[in-house]
A and B are shown apart, each in its own frame.
Chain A
Amino acid sequence: MDFGGINPVILIASLMVAAVPIMLAALGELVVEKAGVLNLGVEGMMIVGAICGFITAVHTGSPVMGFLGGAVGGAALSLVFAFLTQVLLANQVATGLALTLFGLGFASLMGQGYNGIKPPPTLSVPMGPLADIPVLGPILFDHDWMVYMSIALVALVWWVLKATRLGLIIRAVGESHDAAHALGYKVNRIRLGCIAFGGAMAGLGGAYISLVRVPQWVDGITAGAGWIALAIVVFASWRPWRVLIGAYLFGGITVLQLNLQAAGSAIPVEYLSMSPYLITILVLVIMSSGRGRAALNAPASLGQNFHAAR
């Protein structure tokens, strides 16, 4: 059951793996933006998470510790952003860019001497006979635990934002920080927490790239995944389940173009490898046009700093 040398079952199974990094990072950024903060440093936090996770996993021999290390690394870097924008009230766009520039350099500095090492493997969750079911088995029951956890995290974020008090506070801070402040919420502290969560998620996504997706350390390993994650938040119009759809869509495109390259398609390799970026642009255009439908859903205080006068 192959189409042009590509097996659709394997394609779907591998797109679920390919989607994990951008899904985690986009989900984190969604929470950050819901709290009214625009952190453009996702790419930097992801790559720092990738190297932190890789180093931790190599030294402890445990992928779980690796993912934890990646999350801590991403969160640590995001705290720099939080300090600059929430305490020193620096411009969020510029600080986010600084985070990416710094993160790329810092990761490549930390990663020296780690090239060519294999990290400890992250194995599939044993599901017994379920994995042997034709078609559904490889798609649903033959993945590593991070694939399932990423979906669980989407559900968790959706539930927290929709149905809990915490979610309501986060949304209030993002929609109108003045009103939230007047109600007695500590706007900057809540935002700080959200930024740290976003950093941990980006770091987790980065660690997934270096521990499972690739799996080894090379400079610039994230290759724009952080920026695609930012685009997915817009695509999802700030809704968690749409982040999942967006991430699977982009994972699908990435996997499909890689498969087409491997299958020796007539389309030149260069055009295939630029396709995820071009499709990101196309999706942004579609989502943003039409009387700014995506923009209507954007948190009202997005990108604005809050300074309590008293």
Chain B
Amino acid sequence: MLRLEKRPTPSQFWLYATPVVAVLLTMIAGGILFGLLGKNPVAVIKTIFWDPIFGEFAFYLRGQLLVKAGPLILIAIGLSLGFRAGIWNIGAEGQYIMGAICGAGVALALYPTESRLVFPLAILAGALGGWAWAMIPAILKTRFNTNEILVSLMLVYVAETILAKASTGFLRNPEGAGFPGSRSFSTFKAASNPELIAGSGLHWGGVAALATGVAAYVLLSRHILGFQIKLAGQAPRAARFHGVNPEKLVLLCMGLSGALAGLAGLFEVTGPAGKISIDFNVGYGFTAIIVAFLGRLNPLGIVLAGFLMALTYVGGEMAATNMGLPSAAIQVFQGMLLFFLLGVDVLTNYRIRSAFMGAR
């Protein structure tokens, strides 16, 4: 009989080893899944994890990696701050959509102004849109003690309805012959978010993601606020004695994660997506939750995790087009990764002891 014994302090080795073990286990379980779907498991795993970086079309796919990793990292870093403090914003998808709508709305209102200020204004509006959408659950939590998980999630469905209204109604391209979708940003130079270095996939969103990663690292390791966030999560009582105001922390963490999700939405809609359309959002807000945990809620870890998750997106698309792998299989694969991650994490805090062998 195996039993668990709590470690006096979390194991430093397993803290860093668990994500690696989880990824390996997911590859094995995913391989079995792909095998059951009638595909060659080794070939699929290679297509997902190897080909985008070293394969035949890597010159193009490497750029795609950054395109997908940017929004994931941006959102996940925001979420990780809240998760650390025990504040669960899981409505990032809604904040992402609202950021995109607000930012794009401001930019499109200024069409066809060719001023340098249009794009910065749109960025500001995008961040504000996401921030405002996240403030709803935050204020309801601080004022009425409402569960932020449920409220932020409900607001995702509301945001999706507003997006449908935006793309068929108030943001629809007036010259689009009645088709849904806004004016394309590729024809609106002042507000577009192009690739900065050709072929790299780097746009302003990627720059923002990497900068946010560094900023969050500094915040958490060097700033009093980062200390308070960590303290509130690990020892809420001690945090109150330390003078941490829990309500302020909720407003701050929710607001920050909302603003970052809004930014991600704006960069996506003005860049890779190109316009507001009814389904421009592809669930980054939810996948970012996995990224945040995979990165162990650590900014630098999240940057790495973001690239790994981008790999499953890009490689998954490759596997879908080349080998006919259903795209839902990738979603299952990503979900499994989170399962394994949470499961393996037991080794960080507990030792496994065998009752037969006695204490070693």
Q: How far is the CB of A271 from chain B (nearest CB, A)?
A: 8
Q: Does A158 contact B (CB under 8 A)?
A: no
Q: Does A133 contact B (CB under 8 A)?
A: no
Contacts of A278 in B (CB 8 A): 154, 158
Q: Does A6 contact B (CB under 8 A)?
A: no
Prevailing SS type, chain B contact patch:
helix
Report the interface size for chain B: residues with CB under 8 A from the other chain. Answer: 46
Interface string of A272-287 (1 = CB under 8 A from B): 0110011011001100
Interface string of B152-190 (1 = CB under 8 A from A): 011101100110110001000000000000000000000
Contacts of B329 in A (CB 8 A): 105, 109
Contacts of A98 in B (CB 8 A): 290, 335, 338-339, 342
Q: Does B40 contact A (CB under 8 A)?
A: no
| A-B CB contact pairs (8 Å), 21 listed | A90-B342, A93-B88, A95-B339, A95-B342, A97-B289, A98-B342, A101-B286, A105-B330, A105-B334, A108-B331, A224-B153, A227-B150, A227-B154, A270-B161, A270-B162, A271-B161, A277-B155, A280-B154, A285-B140, A288-B144, A289-B144
Q: In the assembly, what is the distance between CA of A268 and CA of B164, in Å? A: 12
Q: In the assembly, what is the distance between CA of A109 and CA of B143, in Å? A: 42
For B153, the closest partner residue in chain A by CB is A227
One of A274, A288, A289 near B158 (C-beta < 8 A): A274
Q: In the assembly, what is the distance between CA of A280 and CA of B157, in Å? A: 12
Q: Does B326 contact A (CB under 8 A)?
A: yes
**B331 adjacent to A104 (CB under 8 Å):** yes
Q: In the assembly, what is the distance between CA of A130 and CA of B169, in Å? A: 49
Contacts of B149 in A (CB 8 A): 40, 93
Contacts of B342 in A (CB 8 A): 84, 88, 90-91, 94-95, 98
Contacts of A83 in B (CB 8 A): 343
Q: Does A102 contact B (CB under 8 A)?
A: yes
**A281 adjacent to B155 (CB under 8 Å):** yes
Report the interface size for chain A: residues with CB under 8 A from the other chain. Answer: 45
**B145 adjacent to A90 (CB under 8 Å):** no
Q: How far is the CB of B139 from chain A (nearest CB, A)?
A: 10
Tell me the chain B residues, 285-319 only, with Cβ under 8 Å from chain A: 286-287, 289-290, 293
**B332 adjacent to A106 (CB under 8 Å):** yes
Contacts of A163 in B (CB 8 A): none
Interface-central residue, A109, A227, A295, by most chain B CB under 10 Å: A109
**A307 adjacent to B6 (CB under 8 Å):** yes
One of A84, A271, A277 near B339 (C-beta < 8 A): A84
Q: In the assembly, what is the distance between CA of A273 and CA of B329, in Å? A: 30
Q: Does A89 contact B (CB under 8 A)?
A: yes
Q: In the assembly, what is the distance between CA of A285 and CA of B151, in Å? A: 9
Given contacts A109-B332, A230-B150, A307-B4, contact A289 B326 (CB under 8 A): no
> Nearest 10 pairs between A and B by C-beta?
A102-B335, A105-B331, A289-B144, A108-B328, A90-B342, A109-B328, A98-B338, A105-B332, A274-B161, A88-B346
Q: How far is the CB of A102 from chain B (nearest CB, A)?
A: 3
Contacts of B161 in A (CB 8 A): 270-271, 273-274
Contacts of B157 in A (CB 8 A): 223-224, 274, 277
Q: How far is the CB of B294 from chain A (nearest CB, A)?
A: 11
Interface string of B199-213 (1 = CB under 8 A from A): 000000000000000
For B90, the closest partner residue in chain A by CB is A97
Q: In the assembly, what is the distance between CA of A90 and CA of B339, in Å? A: 9
Q: Does B345 contact A (CB under 8 A)?
A: yes
Q: How far is the CB of B344 from chain A (nearest CB, A)?
A: 8
Given contacts A277-B158, A281-B154, contact A268 B331 (CB under 8 A): no
Q: Does B245 contact A (CB under 8 A)?
A: no
Contacts of A309 in B (CB 8 A): 6
Given contacts A274-B161, A277-B154, contact A89 B331 (CB under 8 A): no
